Amino acid sequence: MHDTSYDNEDNFRKYAAKVYDPIKIGSIDGTDTEPHDRGILRALSSEYVPNKLVKGDPHHTIFVARLNPRTTQETIVKEFSKFGKIVHCRLVKDIVTGKSKQYAFVEFEKTSAADRAFYDMHKEYIDNTEVIVEKEAERRLQGWKPRRLGGGFGGRKESGQLRFGCRDRPFRKPIIVPKNLERRDQK
């Protein structure tokens, strides 16, 4: 049985927000006023216009990323249909090669089904690959910038984009090194 206490989106600060601010998303505690990496600088200077042709309810839609390149749309539907009726599933593919870009959008009939999938499928394995699941942000947050433009919520240290507002690195107070420890390291 699923706990329905997570149906309230205000439990997560990033989803309670109405405007996307790359500096706040990149901040450990949400108080930064200056960018700390090149990705955030790129997001601030980039322009992005959301796709107006996208249909459906963004509150019923989840974003699934880090898919196996061989994962098919049928596999995604099979894995996520256990949470509720799927209205639409779109595995994003390269327009030239037709190969998977390794992410998809799944729209459910009900918000509760999207919420259950969001909580239960994050960091689960599909086709032997660990996936991440987020709520759709493009149509929900004004000023949204995708990861390719330096935006997004997540990030990996290896890519030079270390974001702290995502589920893997939630907002926390910064670590403050005591002055006596700083002096020892400088000697």
Q: What is the predicted pLDDT for the residue at 11?
A: 41
Secondary structure (3-state) at 30: coil
Kindly list the distances between the CA atom of residue 31 and the CA atoms of 28, 44, 160, 172, 173, in Å, as whole numbers in the listed order: 8, 17, 21, 11, 10
Secondary structure (3-state) at 106: strand
Task: Provide the CATH topology of domain 55-137.
Answer: Alpha-Beta Plaits (3.30.70)
Kindly list the distances between the CA atom of residue 90 and the CA atoms of 85, 102, 116, 166, in Å, as whole numbers in the listed order: 15, 11, 19, 23
Query: If we measure between CA atoms, which residue out of 48, 53, 62 comes closest to residue 9?
Result: 62
Q: What is the predicted pLDDT for the residue at 18?
A: 77
Q: What is the predicted pLDDT for the residue at 62?
A: 94
Overall pTM > 0.85: no
Secondary structure (3-state) at 141: coil
Biggest CA-to-CA distance, the chain: 63
Q: What is the predicted pLDDT for the residue at 13?
A: 47
Q: What is the predicted pLDDT for the residue at 12?
A: 43
- Cβ–Cβ < 8 Å for 103, 148: no
The first and second tokens of residue 157, run together, are: 């240290």
Q: What is the predicted pLDDT for the residue at 17?
A: 67
**Residue pLDDT tens, the chain, 187 long:** 444 444 444 344 444 567 788 877 777 666 778 887 777 888 888 888 887 888 889 899 999 999 999 999 999 999 999 999 999 999 999 999 999 999 999 999 999 999 999 999 999 999 999 999 988 888 887 888 887 787 777 655 544 445 555 555 555 555 555 666 555 445 5
Q: What is the predicted pLDDT for the residue at 53?
A: 82
Structural domain boundaries of the chain?
Answer: 9-53+144-187, 55-137
Beta strands in the chain (DSSP E): 61-65, 86-93, 100-108, 125-126, 129-130, 132-135
- Cβ–Cβ < 8 Å for 61, 113: no
